[in-house]
Amino acid sequence: MLVKWIRCTVVDRRGFERGQRKWAGQLGEPGFRGQSGGWSRGRDGVAHVFAFWESRAFYDSFMARSHDRLAAAQVGTFKNAQVKLFDYRFDIKTGFEPRFTDADVVRVAHCKVREDRVEHFALMQEKVWNPAMAGSPGMLRGLFGEAPGNEFLVLSMWQSAAEHGKYRAERVERLALRAQTEADVAALAGDVVELQPSWTV
């Protein structure tokens, strides 16, 4: 599975949201698995969108044919768009599905990992972080993805911001020490995204 993550700064909120609903046109596209997104809880005017495709080939075909027509509705409503593609590596918890109806927030972490620490980082994700997240009340499902250049995406869906906040407060520092995260990660950017049901396709 291919994961597409888009982050941008919105300059015309109403126009952007109107355009966001046009992405429902992806339904029926070969290989399309789902899409949703929402507003950053910490950064004003920043929007995140997550799209899921069965494979790179299906995604490339969509980009070549239908993408620009659907994207036209949002031209001029945002700036500083950053688009990243990740290959799915494994689930956090079990049976990841790109379903969003039961989640209120998505936590996204984008990690640039030191080249000699990539294997260790992936192992710690599997052995330390995943069990801790999977055992946290309110954590629904998630995935671990990889992009060229030692970049990784950790995406987790939560029932509520409060549940995610409890997990952060209680465990993150201790887990980071155990996983030697500081030694692995050269750069880390993260956000908590409040999902907008009208953006879900």
Q: Which residue spans within 78-123 are E strands per DSSP?
A: 78-92, 105-113
Among 184, 138, 129, 133, CA closest to 161? 138
Confidence (pLDDT) at 168: 87
Residue 98, helix vs strand vs coil: coil
pTM for the predicted model, two decimal places: 0.96
The tokens describing 180, both together, are 């030697």
Residue 119, helix vs strand vs coil: helix
Confidence (pLDDT) at 126: 95
**What residues make up the domain containing 168?**
2-199
Alpha helices by DSSP H, listed for the chain, are 13-21, 56-65, 67-71, 118-124, 130-134, 161-179, 181-184
Q: What's the rounded Cα separation, in Å, for the pair 122 and 128?
A: 10
Q: In whole numbers, what is the pLDDT of the chain averaged over residues?
A: 96
CATH number at residue 186: 3.30.70.100
Number of other CB atoms surrounding residue 14 within 10 Å:
9
Confidence (pLDDT) at 87: 98
Number of other CB atoms surrounding residue 126 within 10 Å:
14
Place of tokens 């609903």: 21
| Lowest-confidence segment of 55-59, 90-94, 118-122 by average pLDDT | 90-94
The tokens describing 181, both together, are 């995260």
Q: How many domains does the chain have?
A: 1
